Amino acid sequence: MLNVQIVLFDGFDLLDAIAPYEVFIAASMYAEEALRVELVTAEGPRHVTSGIQGLEIEATGKLDPECGGMILVPGSSGKVFGEEANSIPIILNRAAGTEISVQIRQALEREDVLIATVCGGSLLLAMAGLLEGRHAVTHHMGMGVLGATGAFPIQARIVDDGNLVSAGGVTSGLDVALYLVERTLGPRIAHAVEQLFEFERRGTVWKAEGVVRADDMDATGKEKGIKFAPVAIDEVHASEPLYEGKWEVIISTPIGKLETRLVIHTDNGSIRGTATQDGETVELIHPRVQGDKLVWDLRVSKPMKLQLHFEVIVQGDVMTGTAKAGFLPASKLTGHRLD
């Protein structure tokens, strides 16, 4: 019997979880109890409050990364933007900070476990640093954030990356569940469920296989990879020394205020710098002046793996500006010069 664990967390999206649940239950009916389907949490049996009007669902088990089979992680439901506790970025980041991340990491290391995500479920795993270098998809509004975490975002309904299968927007939960049924039990059972539900799976499943599109090949004939912006330095103009020095800045993000130390200087006519936050020091990526702003990118791993885009203005010893990742709202940045 194949175990299927659907992971719930406070603020989860009902359709992300329940649509696959019904598909797996129907498949089990047609395949003589070939699947055992259970709603679980990282903590164990409890009532879980969804992000849809606070509707509660009972989880009957605890997520077990050692039992083999499939683990499906849904996304969340709430306000798309904002810093409120019920906004999607806050819900996903809160869930990524629980034992879910530890348990999924353990599951990904096993050969007998297949991880699946629906909608923002891939962002939850990406925020926990679990999808770096993996092909995945999420809701179209979150693709920028997915790429900023180091994953390779693919515009497809379903992306199959071996032991990781992800699906796009909320309704794709039906599609990915039917695909997983076909992958594990075969097309006859998947077809029977489609007939029962009067629903046909949409889209081609993307895999890193077959002939590569010409547009996806570089000048050497190799497949292009999705890379972070290279470290490149623009020439400094006469006004740019006003940015030089050590800066103490605070970034007001949806997951709380981050204190960061910036060190910016010029070297042989080029802008260079570093940022230190939570014990981690990284180089500023492509720092350059655009009009009256200093602009750079920054790849961080704390509190989650992201690539951020910064735009700041300096007036005397005061720095103000924004930091932004993907579709997330820009976070306000304020700072002062230390020397």
Write out pLDDT tens, residues 227-261: 433 333 333 343 446 888 999 999 987 667 889 99
Q: How far apart are CA 192 and CA 4, in angstroms?
A: 19
What is the model's pTM? 0.72
Distances, alpha carbon 309 to alpha carbons 87, 126, 171, 298, in Å: 21, 18, 31, 6
Best CA proximity match to 16, nearest among 99, 116, 148: 116
Kindly give, in sequence order, each residue whose CB lies less than 8 Å from that of residue 220, ignoring residues fewer than 6 positions away.
none
Kindly give, in sequence order, each residue whose CB lies less than 8 Å from that of residue 39, ignoring residues fewer than 6 positions away.
6, 8, 17, 21, 48, 57, 58, 59, 60, 61
Question: First and final CA of the chain: distance in angstroms?
Answer: 66
The pLDDT value recorded for residue 158 is 97
Distances, alpha carbon 5 to alpha carbons 21, 48, 74, in Å: 9, 15, 11
Contact 21, 27 (CB under 8 A): no
Q: How far apart are CA 166 and CA 108, in angstroms?
A: 14
Q: Bridge partners of 263?
A: 246, 274
Write out pLDDT tens, residues 124-172: 999 888 998 899 999 998 888 888 788 999 999 999 999 999 999 989 9
Write out pLDDT tens, residues 291-331: 788 999 888 776 677 778 899 999 889 999 999 876 567 88
